[in-house]
Amino acid sequence: MAVFFAVALAAPRLAPFRPDAPHVLAILHPPAWPYLLGTDNLGRDILSRIIIASPVSLAIGTLSMLVSVVVGVFVGASAGYFGGPVDAVLMRLTDIVLAVPVFFLAVAFLALFGPSVPGLILIIGLTAWPPTARLVRAEFQSLRGREFIAAARATGGSNGRIIARHLLPNVVPVIVISATLRVGLAILTEAGLSFLGLGVQPPQPSWGNIIADGREYLATAWWVSLFPGLCVFLAVMAFNLVGDGLRDAFDPRLQL
């Protein structure tokens, strides 16, 4: 994961060629010097396009994760702390969002309003918050009856202060784990939407639309789709493994 972020930060300096510069004498050039990962059907260097695409794909994954975490924490904290009708309404809303196929909802939204990076971030973030909301709600329900919460109420603490100062710090590990796992899913969703032409639009490269560029040449120029697909796989795997590691690190039962 650190390697992916380092490449994203230094992308303009690491790319050996301009990502949109065609090399007419090297169309569909196989992986070899100087095109280490080959070229596409327009003669563009695949390695350069993957490097330049990395900040776009990682930024979409990270920013959409932030949107989903903010919404999920707000919904889960409100439902878990107040309970009763508030909990019932918010959890039914969560069930509705979970019941709708996220990918098809994103396709419909982007087809209706047009593909754009901000729209992509919003639609992924606003459809990925229910798991976080459920986790935060469960933690709040287990904590709101503890003695330190009763003491905070007895000293005149407001609901907002109790949530912000006493409850949220205790659920930070759950939020961090959920956020890490959300990034991998967001990257995968962005790649799928870009593959369908509803995500990042050319000439801006993303891992998804680079894969789409090579789908007609899989039999003859496999490298066009293979290497960006491998980046998607490794990035999602990295975030999932980090999430699993954080979950194990924060689980006190595994530290006995």
138 pLDDT exceeds 70? yes
Higher-pLDDT residue of 197, 210? 210
pLDDT score recorded for residue 255: 55
Tell me what the mean pLDDT of segment 132-138 comes to.
91
User: pLDDT tens digits for 150-183?
Assistant: 888 888 878 888 888 888 888 888 888 888 888 9
User: pLDDT tens digits for 92-126?
Assistant: 999 998 888 877 888 888 888 888 888 889 988 98
| 148 contact partners, CB below 8 Å, separation of at least 6 | 166
Tell me what the mean pLDDT of segment 55-82 comes to.
92
Q: Is residue 1 part of a domain?
A: no
Q: Is residue 134 part of a domain?
A: yes
Percent of the chain with pLDDT over 70: 98
Q: Is residue 110 part of a domain?
A: yes
Residue 54 to residue 111: CA distance in whole angstroms? 24
Q: Is residue 4 part of a domain?
A: no
Mean pLDDT of the chain: 88
Q: Is residue 87 part of a domain?
A: yes
pTM of the model: 0.86
pLDDT score recorded for residue 13: 92
pLDDT score recorded for residue 150: 84
Q: Is residue 177 part of a domain?
A: yes
89 pLDDT exceeds 90? yes
User: pLDDT tens digits for 210-227?
Assistant: 999 888 888 889 999 999
CA-CA-CA-CA torsion sign (193, 199, 200, 201): positive
| 141 contact partners, CB below 8 Å, separation of at least 6 | 80, 83
Would you put residue 156 in left (φ > 0), alpha (ψ -120 to 50) or beta?
A: left
Q: Is residue 15 part of a domain?
A: no
253 pLDDT exceeds 70? no
256 pLDDT exceeds 60? no
Percent of the chain with pLDDT over 90: 38
Q: What is the CATH number of the domain that holds 115?
A: 1.10.3720.10
Q: Which domain holds residue 201?
A: 37-251
Q: Spell out a b/e string for 235-253, using b for 16 or more CB atoms within 10 Å of the CB, else e.
A: bbebbeebbeebbeeeeee
Domains: count for the chain: 1
Q: Is residue 125 part of a domain?
A: yes
